[in-house]
Amino acid sequence: MSTQDFIPVGDALAAYVAGALTTPASAADRELGRLHILDTLASIVACRDLEPAVLARDYALSLSGGAERNAATILGTELRAGIVDAAFASAMTGHGAEINDFIPSAFVQPGPAVLSVALAVAETRGATGAELLAAVIAGYEIAGRMPKALGVDNLRRAGIANHGIGPQFGAATAAAVLMRLPRAMIADVFTFCAQQASGSWQWLLDVEHIEKAFVFAGMGARDGLHAALMAAAGFRGVREALDHPGGWMRGPLFAGGDADRAYLIKDLGVRSELPHTAFKRYPVGGPTQPAVEALLDLTKEVAGAEVASVQIEMPGRWQAFRDAAMPALNLRYLAAIILLDGRLDFVGAQSLQRMGGDAAARTLMDKVEIRHDPAQEAAPGQPRTESARVAVLLADGRRLERYVPHVLGFPSHPMSAADVEAKAAELMAPALGQARASAVIAAVRNLETLPDAGALVRLIAR
């Protein structure tokens, strides 16, 4: 972009954040906001006892457990820590496995970081349900817009993970909204976000979902909340970090390429990122979902027959999902356990032990081939697609095939409110019981009438 094409974004962004509590979102966006809050709460409940959550919780308690001043609840528990440590542990819990929401066009998963920070601030400041909802909607908005403004390809070429950038700015936004920071302070919030903006695509090498949970959720929650708290405490910095030629956003990493700084503020407050945000139907990585659905649909026809080979064709970064060391991202492993078990459950999808130690699964994994299918790629300028064609060749000569162009929950084919509530009930009932799970769903459904947003924290505590 040349100098004459430069579009300032800082003032418009500050006005949006500072006005989020007094400028209501549309009814459609408020409905989507409630559903994403519910989906993230359900993920927190389901992932509470997984290792990323336990490690983060123990770490937070070791730093500030028992704190009384400016303390918040670690979501999913009755334990309390300093607000930043509590939000960090809550966000790590929310992305303890592959079941929370994501924005495929931005390559971010906003829910765990944004909601964890929003609830921590809401609890400490006595915010209402309506205020929580407004803050979360604003957080999702900036979390989705920032990576696209910087350039998704620019970030990838620089080795910077969108997954860390978007949630940090989104979490900072949600905190600033609930803290009622004035317009003049928002630039300071974002300059301290810029100084902390980080994250590497090396998360693809992670095996145990611990570093991934940190990059996708914990880091963004911690750093975004830090930025808002620092600004509120009087920390000041470069207030043109997004607009000055020497500032972060106009630096060489984000010059040219697919950068679109105007996207950060275009129709801000009118057109929402929420319709671009997907719900995961299955407890696996987003791009693997269509293949998983195809395999599940084929299980009745396979029904114990000997499998000779499996071919999976997909668009995008197919090698990553062929070779992933993490079970919930490895399509060869997921295909094997689905065909062996005739189903896919939350525990099996995350089981590193089974992936490495189940001899039958390892044998079947060797028969699964993942291929790139250029025909499934979206045309240039079109939204990212996630699809799959799966063919299972049986030893008796039969060839079974399914093509899944999309999975329910992807932005092009959104879940209904009933779909999201059913998913939430399925995830929460084993831990909370059906009655409490239903109470959480009802509370979120009526969130805008809730006088104390902290009630949600107490409803999922155990």
User: How wide is the angle at C-alpha 426 spanned by C-alphas 423 and 427, nearest 5°?
Assistant: 90
Q: What is the pLDDT of residue 383?
A: 79
Q: What is the pLDDT of residue 235?
A: 98
Q: What is the pLDDT of residue 1?
A: 45
In tens digits, what is the pLDDT along the chain, a chain of 462 residues? 444 468 999 999 999 999 999 999 999 999 999 999 999 999 999 999 999 999 999 999 999 998 989 999 999 999 999 999 999 999 999 999 999 999 999 999 999 999 999 999 999 999 999 999 999 999 999 999 999 999 999 999 999 999 999 999 999 999 999 999 999 999 999 999 999 999 999 999 999 999 999 999 999 999 999 999 999 999 999 999 999 999 999 999 998 999 999 999 999 999 999 999 999 999 999 899 999 999 999 999 998 789 999 999 999 889 999 999 999 999 999 999 999 999 999 989 999 999 999 999 999 999 999 999 999 998 887 877 889 999 999 999 999 999 999 999 999 999 999 999 999 999 999 999 999 999 999 999 999 999 999 999 999 999
Structure-token pair, residue 27 = 């009814």
Residue 410 has a CB neighbour count (10 Å cut-off) of: 24
Q: What is the pLDDT of residue 385?
A: 80
One-letter amino acid at 426 equals: E
**Token pair 């084919």: residue:** 413
Q: What is the pLDDT of residue 2?
A: 44
Strands 80-82, 307-314: pairing is unpaired
Q: Strand, coil or helix: what is 247?
A: coil
Strands 368-372, 307-314: pairing is parallel
What domains lie within the chain, and their CATH numbers? 9-281+442-460 (1.10.4100.10), 286-404 (3.30.1330.120)
Residue 103: phi and psi, rounded to 5, are: -110, 100
Name the residue among 205, 209, 218, 220 with its Cα closest to residue 59: 218
Structure-token pair, residue 398 = 């039969």
Give pTM, 2 decimals: 0.93
Q: What is the pLDDT of residue 11?
A: 97
d(C-alpha 279, C-alpha 108), whole Å: 12
Beta-carbon-side half-sphere exposure of residue 218 (alpha carbons within 13 Å): 25
Q: What is the pLDDT of residue 230?
A: 98
d(C-alpha 103, C-alpha 436), whole Å: 29
One-letter amino acid at 321 equals: F
d(C-alpha 117, C-alpha 140), whole Å: 12
Name the residue among 221, 32, 240, 217 with its Cα closest to residue 137: 32
Residue 343 has a CB neighbour count (10 Å cut-off) of: 10
d(C-alpha 394, C-alpha 436), whole Å: 45
- State the DSSP string of 373-437: -GGGSPPTTSPP---EEEEEEETTS-EEEEEES--BTBTTSPPPHHHHHHHHHHHHHHHH-HHHH
